[in-house]
């Protein structure tokens, strides 16, 4: 592991899908870290490769997936080199996953008690009684009322929100080190979404797990994540802390995403959108894949892929606009507003530091 604070390190991951038309390059050289106890949000539109990334971590890719290169280090071991049998031992034990649609992700013909208890029986070899007792505890923990009687119910007897709580209970019953949440609130009502997100945060503290949170909904990210990685066309184009991505975005794609998110401040009749469609990953364009949809594209964007430019120690973006020789561009008005807010915040923070005196600063340096 490069850093001892990391629980998971993905390096240079490339995943292709073999189809009759050719190889679809779904993941093109993706690297990221997951720190212990943090929530990392991976944001991007449909087909950007978010789910394929997590599926590759779980070892649950479709049979036509070909992992061309890369490594996924977990506890000093490369998950990509593990056998299917070894991965079975890791799934549901060390790494668990919550899926998008709670209406379809539970077995309709099995009592939910059994479904929640199953990971215990599989990984810990627990007998039914003991496993069910723990399942009951977990049901209470995720906020299912009247758990004693409901443990014998079937999925169709629960509402969508309750079912997602059950799915969360299944994922967390073995206290996994990593929880992958693949759009866990997309299929739920907005009011229920908030409940589920709060529950996840609460449980993250209780059982100290690291979360990879996949979503296309930036609104959800703001309240949930510590760090954000923005994915486009099988690549990460920008990553940083949640404040950096929301208030000081550097990549035009991130600008587009943020501008197309309605906020309380947004005015005007029309909600901006990103024109065009994502590129065909059967034959990805040379240079920056976003260039064709990018109003700020430079000539070099169509010729050469931008490397990551450093914005701060935690913030990197892959756009030629950050190159010292690049012309100065003004981002969309909404983004400028955000950046101004951020600058003020930073200023205020700096001032606050100064007024509290040098003692604290010294402590920090130590």
Cβ-based nearer residue to another protein, 85 or 328: 85
Q: Which residues contact 40 (CB under 8 A, 6 or more apart)?
A: 32, 34, 210, 211, 212, 213, 225, 226, 227, 228, 229
239 contacts 44 by C-beta, under 8 angstroms: no
End-to-end CA separation in angstroms for the chain: 25
Interacting residue with another protein among 12, 19, 69, 104 (CB under 8 A): 104
Decide if residue 162 touches another protein (CB under 8 A).
no
Q: Which two tokens stand for residue 196?
A: 């589920």
Binding mask 72-91 for another protein (x = CB under 8 A): ------------xx--xxxx
Interacting residue with another protein among 60, 329, 343, 349 (CB under 8 A): 60
Which span (74-82, 108-116, 312-320, 346-354) binds another protein, by CB under 8 A? 108-116
Interacting residue with another protein among 5, 12, 69, 157 (CB under 8 A): 157
Strands 178-182 and 210-215: what pairing? parallel
247 contacts 42 by C-beta, under 8 angstroms: no
What is the size of the binding site for another protein (CB under 8 A)?
32
Minimum distance from residue 299 beta carbon to another protein (Å) = 44
Interacting residue with another protein among 66, 78, 107, 280 (CB under 8 A): 107
| Count of beta carbons in the 10 Å neighbourhood of residue 113 | 21
Decide if residue 220 touches another protein (CB under 8 A).
no
Interacting residue with another protein among 3, 46, 109, 330 (CB under 8 A): 109
Decide if residue 123 touches another protein (CB under 8 A).
yes
Decide if residue 154 touches another protein (CB under 8 A).
yes
Which span (93-101, 131-139, 280-288, 315-323) binds another protein, by CB under 8 A? 93-101
Cβ-based nearer residue to another protein, 181 or 225: 181
Interacting residue with another protein among 36, 45, 61, 118 (CB under 8 A): 118
Decide if residue 122 touches another protein (CB under 8 A).
yes
Q: How many Å is the Cα radius of gyration of the chain?
A: 22
Decide if residue 96 touches another protein (CB under 8 A).
yes
Task: Give the footprint of another protein on this chain (CB under 8 A).
Answer: 58, 60, 84-85, 88-93, 96-97, 99-101, 104-110, 118-119, 122-123, 154, 156-157, 167, 170-171
């Amino acid at each position: 592991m490069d850093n001892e604070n990391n629980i998971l390190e993905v390096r240079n991951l490339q995943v292709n899908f073999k189809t009759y038309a050719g190889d679809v390059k779904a993941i093109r050289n993706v690297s990221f870290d997951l720190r212990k106890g943090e929530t990392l949000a991976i944001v991007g539109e449909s087909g950007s490769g978010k789910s394929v990334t997590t599926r590759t971590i779980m070892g649950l890719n479709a049979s036509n997936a070909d992992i061309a290169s890369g490594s996924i280090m977990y506890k000093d071991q490369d998950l990509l080199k593990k056998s299917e049998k070894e991965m079975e031992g890791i799934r549901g034990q060390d790494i668990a996953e919550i899926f998008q649609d709670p209406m379809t992700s539970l077995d309709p013909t099995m009592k939910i008690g059994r479904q929640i208890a199953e990971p215990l029986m599989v990984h810990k070899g627990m007998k039914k009684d003991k496993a069910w007792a723990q399942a009951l505890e977990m049901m209470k923990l995720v906020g299912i009322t009247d758990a004693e009687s409901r443990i014998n119910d079937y999925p169709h007897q629960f509402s969508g929100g309750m079912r997602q709580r059950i799915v969360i209970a299944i994922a967390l019953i073995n206290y996994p080190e990593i929880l992958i949440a693949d759009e866990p609130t997309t299929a739920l009502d907005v009011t229920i979404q908030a409940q589920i997100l709060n529950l996840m945060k609460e449980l993250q503290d209780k059982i100290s797990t690291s979360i990879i949170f996949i979503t296309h909904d930036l609104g959800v990210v703001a309240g949930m994540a510590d760090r954000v990685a923005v994915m486009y066309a099988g690549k990460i184009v920008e990553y940083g802390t949640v404040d950096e991505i929301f208030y000081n975005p550097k990549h035009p794609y991130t600008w587009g995403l943020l501008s197309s998110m309605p906020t309380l401040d947004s005015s005007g009749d029309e909600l901006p959108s990103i024109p065009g469609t994502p590129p065909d990953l059967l034959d990805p364009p040379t240079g920056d894949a976003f260039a064709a949809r990018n109003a700020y594209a430079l000539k070099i964007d169509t010729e050469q892929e931008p490397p990551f430019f450093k914005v701060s120690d935690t913030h990197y973006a892959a756009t030629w606009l950050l190159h010292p020789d690049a012309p100065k561009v003004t981002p969309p008005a909404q983004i400028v507003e955000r950046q101004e807010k951020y600058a003020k915040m930073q200023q205020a923070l700096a001032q606050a530091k100064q007024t509290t005196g040098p003692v604290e600063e010294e402590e920090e340096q130590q």
